[in-house]
Amino acid sequence: RITILPHGSLRILNASKSDEGRYLCQGVNVFGSAEIIASISVKEPTRIELTPKKIELTVGESIVLSCKALHDSTLDVTFYWTLNGQPIDFEKEGGHFESIKAQASSADLMIRNILLMHAGRYGCRVQTAADTVSDETELLVRGPPGPPGVVIVEEITDTTATLSWSPGADNHSPISLYNLQARSPFSLGWQTVRTVPDLISGDMESAMAVELNPWVEYEFRVVAMNKIGTGDPSAPSRVIRTNEAVPKTPPANVSGRSGRRHELVIAWEPVSEEFQSGEGFGYIVAFRPNGTRGWKEKMVTSSDASKFIYRDESVPPLTPFEVKVGVYNNKGDGPFSPIVVICSAEGEPTAAPIDVKATSLSVSEILVAWKHIKESLGRPQGFEVGYWKDMEKEEAAEKVKTEGNESSILLTGLEGNTLYHLTVRAYNAAGYGPPSTAVHAATKKSPPSQAPGNIMWIQDGSHVSLGWEPVRPLANESDVMGYKVLFRQEGQSNSQVIETQKTSAVVLLPDVGVYIIEVCAVSEGGDGTASPQIRVPSFSGGKVTSAQSTLHVLSTSSSSVTLLLALMVPSTS
């Protein structure tokens, strides 16, 4: 058990506590001797237990690996965790790993929200000053399948594509089904397609996509599934185009539209390129008067067309027609839409409005009114009023429209003291009817530019008596018809109005406060320029008498006057 080796070393096998002590090694030759003393301490061997020993988990689950050490009590221990022989970097693993050390002689490894990449051999290494021991456990992670291999398009027809692929990793859960998906320029992303067989089992590596649209570019991909879930899709196949075929989808919503007299306007929703099935796509428009036998057919060669207009001077307005619209391409003629009955256009209005009247309301407004003769054909959708100045030509007329059965319109923004000519005509989708005979109206002259001058007033309690000089309008201004006295409490925007044909008025100030008073002339052309503002304080409303009344005069050169009242002394009576 104890041996001195040829080079002088001492070997002790199966050491035990009895081998502890001080060992002397002495060397001797003819010249003398030398010695060294070594002290040996024998410690208990370190043993570890890593649990559990073999684990099978599903993606998304969590696990705690526990590592316990049995070691000499005089020694400190350090724990190290590895994955497939490489140290685990707890800072770079996105929070999936956490080292937990609850006791000095044990350590736990928490693995949260496990991913497929976390599968492998997990090692726990325990190190002391005397020895190093380690143990490993195997973690198997089950998850959805990996992506299948390259998808190959084997054969193409007008509505089918035969595909093959290689299986991807099953990730420890057998593949149960495959899902075949397709994408085209007309789809919203990837869509599951019908296949033969309907269900593609996990042991199959080919299938046929069916019910595809002819002459459409497709890409295909395959997705594998197992009991854990659905895996990532394969890479897309190369882009292929299905073969051409006779179109099978007729236009939808065939209907009539408004047109001019003697026109039959046929409209439809264009067929999407997805359903045109080949090159040379167009429409066949078929129609016949209701109750007749033979169809008249017209070709429309534009695939984007949505309307066809048939014009025949012999067709009376509102004649019913049976109509259908078919499709064709280079491969042949497709089906027609269901037959619908539509009518030829009723035409534009034929009668001009009557009893047209124009009334001048102000310097910038003229009211136009009219009557319209009801027509069985050419019913109006509204009316158009044209107006132009006396010195202008009718071609320069401005126009304004009404909608529905309106029989009047107020023209605004006109020039003052100006003669206007006006016509009215009806219109609908087919066009415009004849205009009425022109009528004439002149806007009013402008209101007086002069403000009432030399305003005088006297205040007696809450009553203010006003007087002013009359306004003399200029030759191009409207005559004065009367006056307006406007008054409001300071700080408010709405004024009260007193109208009079005299050059005087009495104003009752109902509440306490300061009042703003203005005077202006009234004419056919509107209100004239207002006088400068008068500010009048009112200390009380109701029946109040004052000891004195003062006459005040505001000359036209003043812009604003503040009235200071003398002390108001109530009467003793």
pLDDT in tens, 14-37: 888 899 899 999 989 999 999 999
C-alpha dihedral over 181, 187, 188, 192, to 10 degrees?
Answer: -20
Please report, for residues 289, 320, 356, the alpha-carbon distance to residue 376 in angstroms, rounded to integers and kept in the order given: 21, 16, 22
Please report, for residues 64, 113, 140, 142, the alpha-carbon distance to residue 117 in angstroms, rounded to integers and kept in the order given: 17, 11, 10, 11
- How far, in Å, CA of 282 to CA of 113, rounded? 58
Q: Would you say residue 571 has pLDDT above 70?
A: no
Is 533:517 a contact under the CB 8 Å cutoff?
Answer: yes
Contacts for 260 with CB less than 8 Å, ≥ 6 apart: 311, 345, 347, 348, 430, 431
If you average pLDDT over residues 451-467, what whole number do you get?
90
pLDDT at position 378: 66
Sign of the alpha-carbon dihedral angle for 292, 293, 296, 302: positive
Hey, do 47-142 and 453-545 end up sharing a CATH topology, with the first three levels equal?
A: yes
Strand ranges (DSSP E) for 375-528? 382-389, 398-401, 408-411, 419-428, 431-432, 439-442, 453-460, 463-469, 480-489, 496-500, 504-508, 513-523, 526-527
Q: Would you say residue 380 has pLDDT above 50?
A: yes
Q: Cis peptide before 6, with omega less than 30 degrees from 0?
A: no
Q: Would you say residue 353 has pLDDT above 50?
A: yes
Contacts for 265 with CB less than 8 Å, ≥ 6 apart: 256, 257, 258, 259, 307, 308, 309, 345
- Of 143-157, 257-271, 460-474, 526-540, where does mean pLDDT reach its minimum? 526-540
pLDDT at position 257: 86
Give 411's strand partners: 366
If you average pLDDT over residues 127-139, what whole number do you get?
92
The domain made up of 152-242 has a fold known as Immunoglobulin-like (2.60.40)
pLDDT at position 89: 87
Q: Of the CATH numbers 3.40.50.1820, 3.40.1190.20, 2.60.40.10, 3.40.50.10260, which one belongs to the domain with range 252-344? A: 2.60.40.10
pTM score, two decimals?
0.60
Is residue 572 very low, low, confident or very high in pLDDT (cuts 50, 70, 90)?
very low
pLDDT at position 192: 97
Superfamily of domain 47-142: Immunoglobulins (2.60.40.10)
pLDDT at position 136: 93
pLDDT, tens digit (0-9, with 9 covering 90-100), for 148-167: 999 999 999 999 999 999 99
pLDDT, tens digit (0-9, with 9 covering 90-100), for 296-326: 999 999 999 999 999 998 888 889 999 999 9
pLDDT, tens digit (0-9, with 9 covering 90-100), for 66-76: 999 998 888 88
Nearest to 129 by CA among 48, 87, 72: 72
pLDDT at position 555: 56
Is residue 491 very low, low, confident or very high in pLDDT (cuts 50, 70, 90)?
confident
Q: Tell me: domain 453-545, CATH 2.60.40.10, correct? A: yes
If you average pLDDT over residues 420-439, what whole number do you get?
91
pLDDT at position 526: 85
Nearest to 180 by CA among 131, 234, 142: 234
CA 281 to chain centre: 35
- Of 133-142, 145-154, 205-214, 564-573, where does mean pLDDT reach its minimum? 564-573
Q: Would you say residue 541 has pLDDT above 80?
A: no
Mean of pLDDT over the chain: 89
Selection from 7-11, 114-118, 250-254, 450-454 with the highest mean pLDDT: 250-254
Contacts for 7 with CB less than 8 Å, ≥ 6 apart: none
If you average pLDDT over residues 502-526, what whole number do you get?
90
Q: Of the CATH numbers 2.60.40.10, 3.40.1210.10, 3.40.50.261, 2.60.120.380, which one belongs to the domain with range 354-443? A: 2.60.40.10
Residue type, 270: P
If you average pLDDT over residues 455-471, what whole number do you get?
90
Segments making up each domain of the chain, as ranges = 2-40, 47-142, 152-242, 252-344, 354-443, 453-545
If you average pLDDT over residues 101-111, what whole number do you get?
86
pLDDT at position 550: 56
Q: Would you say residue 540 has pLDDT above 70?
A: no
Question: Which SS3 state, helix, strand or coil, does residue 50 take?
Answer: strand
Is 237:163 a contact under the CB 8 Å cutoff?
Answer: yes
Contacts for 405 with CB less than 8 Å, ≥ 6 apart: none
**Residue whose structure tokens are 């006088």:** 531
Q: Would you say residue 564 has pLDDT above 50?
A: no
pLDDT at position 330: 96
